[in-house]
Amino acid sequence: MIPLTHLAPLLWQAQLSPPDTGGLNPIVSIFAFLVMLVILVFVHELGHLLAALRVGIRAEEFGIGYPPRMFTLFEHNGVKYTLNWLPLGGFVKFAGEGDDGVYGTGSLAEAPPWRKIPVMLAGPLMNLFLAILIFAFIFSINGYPVPTGQNIAAIFPGTPAEAAGFREGDILVSLNNASVTGPNDIIQIARANNGIPIEAVVLRDGERVALTVTPGPWTATLEDGTTQSMNAGIGFSYSPEVEIIGMNPLAATWTAVTHTFMLVGAMLNGLGQLIGGLFGVTEAPPGGVTGPIGIARATGEVIDSGGLLAFWNWTAILSINLFLLNLLPIPALDGSHIMFSLIEWVRGKKVPPEREAIIHGIGFATLMGLILLVTIGDVMNAINGVPVLGR
């Protein structure tokens, strides 16, 4: 389950248009999603394994996919590398796990915090590294897109945008004397100036045109029959207008690093707004959360809009998302294991294993329940033909 907040606007790196219908064959979408899932989880679990072996924690099995086991690929230094039937990622089985495990000095459960924490951190960090690697490859072969404005795709009727005289095909350059090159600049400027007339500068047929628009609440029925509304907005759909800058591999790698951390900041901001919206502290940002079905459909939409390059771009974005989510102190995720290890470090003694197991069990059950609820919404959206990433 992932927050989709801010993910659709961040697709500009692959020069994508917002997907409209997700028209890719569902079988192809599911296959692409499973390939992506195996890649993301494989890299994550590989991070755990490499860190564990480095700090002297024994592992019994590294599996690609989930049991039942298909066959053992090979065995090296006491670790079985297996291929399993369920193509849902992968796993690491550490010594001492399972009913037949025997706890010992080499097991994860008995390892001191200074050994366990690096092992738990290594999985999310590998997802971050994977994102950098993918972006470096994309930028080196395709260049880096620098946004120069926002291309207005459609004007919703009865909105401030229509009243101000915006037209389809306008390129919005600035709003209230501020550039609008970032994925959420328009939303933030509109909210800060709700009900206040501000100047918008657009490029229309190569000429700069100044318009006056008053951000405010609006509701519009889209072509697919769905209703979209905002408490403080302008009322048009848009996608970034970009200029492609060619790069050598070294420059592409450095840009990939800075770009990845820019996305981390944007996702943290979106996650904060999402949490604040749940408690009524801030206005909930556009988007929501989605489960496996929604992610599979979104993968199809992305490929339908931008092909193979877009698929890898989407994979990198989701890899960053997994990096952040796994560091949250949610029971059953890596962040929770790190938190318990820190508590053990501070207290100087372990949290009783049975108590920790209960907390992780309750957390896992709650997480599965939330995924089930989100999946119901994903299924309803699929039946109604509502795009996952469309705007």
pLDDT digits (tens, 9 = 90+) for 121-132: 999 999 999 999
Q: According to the model, what pLDDT value does residue 319 have? A: 95
- Determine what percent of the chain is predicted with pLDDT higher than 90: 35
Looking at 200, 220, 245, the residue that finishes a domain is: 245
Cβ count within 10 A of residue 220:
20
pLDDT confidence of residue 104: 40
Looking at the fold, whether 186 and 126 belong to one and the same domain comes out as no
Residues 355 and 319 in one domain: yes
Q: Are residues 124 and 3 in the same domain?
A: yes
Strands, DSSP E only, in 112-197?
144-155, 171-175, 178-179
131 shares a domain with 183: no
118 and 256 share one domain: yes
Give the mean pLDDT of the chain: 83
Residue 280 has a pLDDT of: 66
* Cα–Cα distances in angstroms (integers) from residue 97 to residues 41, 112, 219, 221, 309, in the given order: 19, 16, 54, 54, 40
Q: Are residues 320 and 206 in the same domain?
A: no
Domain termination residue (choose one: 245, 280, 297): 245
Residues 226, 239 contacting (CB under 8 angstroms): no
Residues 31-51 have pLDDT tens digits of: 898 899 889 999 999 999 999
Q: Are residue 152 and residue 239 in the same domain, yes or no? A: yes
Distance CA 141, CA 182 (A): 23
- Counted domains in the chain: 2
pTM score, whole prediction: 0.77
> Band of the pLDDT at 28, cuts 50, 70, 90?
confident
**172: its two tokens:** 């919005």
Nearest to 20 by CA among 301, 347, 295, 371: 301
Answer yes or no: do 215 and 358 share one domain: no
Query: Are 139 and 219 members of one domain?
Result: no
328 and 362 belong to one structural domain: yes
pLDDT at position 10: 53
At 74, the pLDDT band (50, 70, 90 cuts) reads: very high
**pLDDT tier, 1 (very low <50, low <70, confident <90, very high otherwise):** very low
Same domain, 251 and 237: no
* Comparison of pLDDT for 6 and 372, the residue scoring more: 372
Sign of CA dihedral 106, 107, 110, 113: positive
Quote the domain boundaries for residue 222: 145-245
- Residue 181 and residue 296 in one domain: no
305-309 mean pLDDT: 83
Flag whether pLDDT at 108 surpasses 50: yes
